[in-house]
Amino acid sequence: MSGATGKRGRRAVALAGVLAAGALTPSCQEREVSSITLAIASEASVPREIDAISLEVRRADRVMFARSYGIDPVSRQARVPGSLTLKLHPDEDPGERIRVVLRAELKQEQVVLRSATTTFVEGKNKLLRMTLRYSCLDYPKLCQAGETCLGGRCQDEFIDPVTLPETPPEEQIFPTINQTGCFDDRDDQCGKGQQALQDLAASAAEGCKFSVVGQQGKLNVFALWAAQLDQGHPVVLDQDKQEGWFFDEESSGVVRLSEGLCEQVQQGKISQIFYNFACPTKTLQTPVCAPLPEAAAVTAFDQSDCHKCAYFTSDCKQLADAEAEEATMPLLDAAKGCPYDGNYSSQLECKAVRACFFDALAPLLSCNDAGCEGKYKAGLAWVACVAELPPPEERCSQECGKENIKICSEPTPGP
């Protein structure tokens, strides 16, 4: 068998966590918190293969969270969540189902959809990993209601919450390559020494099974999809009967691909399978290690002096319902999700940051008595107050001047 060769580039696997631990509902002080933390990642590279992601969370017929993420004009990175924590409100039924829908787009075309339905477990903090996978490209159009794509096949989207693991500390949700608890797929670590199947067609004809010789606890299987842009970097598969591979129960030392992945091999969507014994076996609950953080000029909009002056202004601190502090929560959550480098360099950047901020407040506009908490109603009052004030560049000239907000008011240059 021949080894996989060639220097491989790094893929953007763990999505940038710009919206970490944002609670949808306040926790109850009188009982143990019940929560579900969503951990979102992608096998496809961001932003080359996915340039926008939307996330929607529903309870029954109520939309509890809805937000879209695009490409930041400054960093050229995707504004997407890494993790998001949903907390059970004291007045809510923990057994009421929650549905999470994750959509990925490329050039405004939906390319991957992943959904999951589950419930809270009272007194428990559960972790739900949702990964956008190559095996589910183009499945938004194929699966029926109540189903989602898992390993290239439509499956029931319900997940028994009892089977979900406990949520670890935040830094362990997406560990970096210098930490334990993740799979390091760099060439010089767990990705090294990959052996390619000599006859993939023959294996496919036999149900995608092949024999391996080595320590089973360190076996890892990799797939190279024909649609991947990075053809030098096979994707590590999980040891899982639905989304990856498993050991044949009847034959010792024989590995089989899941039925959905086997179909993709037979259809030519998977062009090669590799394996090695370099690291402990990867499972669904072991994330691919995130790259080490790089120094960047981009910060969050909530750290902007201009933002604080413009939207947390003293002119709006005396709301009629006396809930000013509660009202700032959705605004602060919105600001945290919008990358900003502290200086507007173009009208495109002004437009993008402004659109990000106000798009994040969109759930307020669809608020009603049945579907909103009090903080959202207070937030609406805050937005209404700010709308009646002069524009930020007038009332916050000193703070906004430092951030060059003047460029946002200049006429749009011609072609």
- Domain spans of the chain, in order of start: 1-10+179-292, 35-172, 299-409
Give 330 or 125, the one with higher predicted confidence. Answer: 125
pLDDT in tens, 164-198: 999 999 888 989 888 888 999 887 889 999 999 98
Of 92, 124, 82, nearest to 25 by C-alpha is 92
**pLDDT attached to residue 253:** 86
**pLDDT attached to residue 118:** 97
pLDDT in tens, 295-315: 444 567 777 888 878 777 777
**Chain centre distance of CA 192:** 27
Of 205, 140, 379, 184, nearest to 279 by C-alpha is 184
For range 220-235, the mean pLDDT:
91
Of 399, 276, 415, nearest to 343 by C-alpha is 399
Distances (CA, A) of 166 to 38, 138, 172: 12, 32, 12
pLDDT in tens, 338-388: 777 777 777 777 777 777 777 766 665 555 555 555 556 666 677 777 778
> Which amino acid makes up residue 48?
R
Per-residue confidence band for 42, with pLDDT thresholds at 50, 70 and 90: confident
Three-state secondary-structure class, residue 43 = coil
For range 331-337, the mean pLDDT:
72
The lowest-confidence range among 23-37, 145-159, 377-391 is: 23-37
**pLDDT attached to residue 38:** 93
**pLDDT attached to residue 84:** 86
pLDDT in tens, 157-171: 999 999 999 999 988
| Tokens linked to 396 | 């916050």
DSSP-derived secondary structure for 153-209: EEEE-B--GGGSPBP--GGGTS-BTTSSSSB--STTTTTTT-EE-S-HHHHHHTTSE
pLDDT > 90 in the chain, percent? 36
Of 73, 71, 69, nearest to 81 by C-alpha is 69
For range 211-232, the mean pLDDT:
91
**pLDDT attached to residue 162:** 95
The lowest-confidence range among 16-20, 207-211, 378-382 is: 16-20
**Maximum distance among all alpha carbons in the chain?**
75
Give 250 or 31, the one with higher predicted confidence. Answer: 250
Distances (CA, A) of 353 to 20, 54, 72, 380: 19, 17, 8, 20
Per-residue confidence band for 10, with pLDDT thresholds at 50, 70 and 90: very low
**Number of helices (H) and strands (E), helices first, in the chain?**
9, 18
Is the pLDDT at 281 greater than 90? The verdict is yes
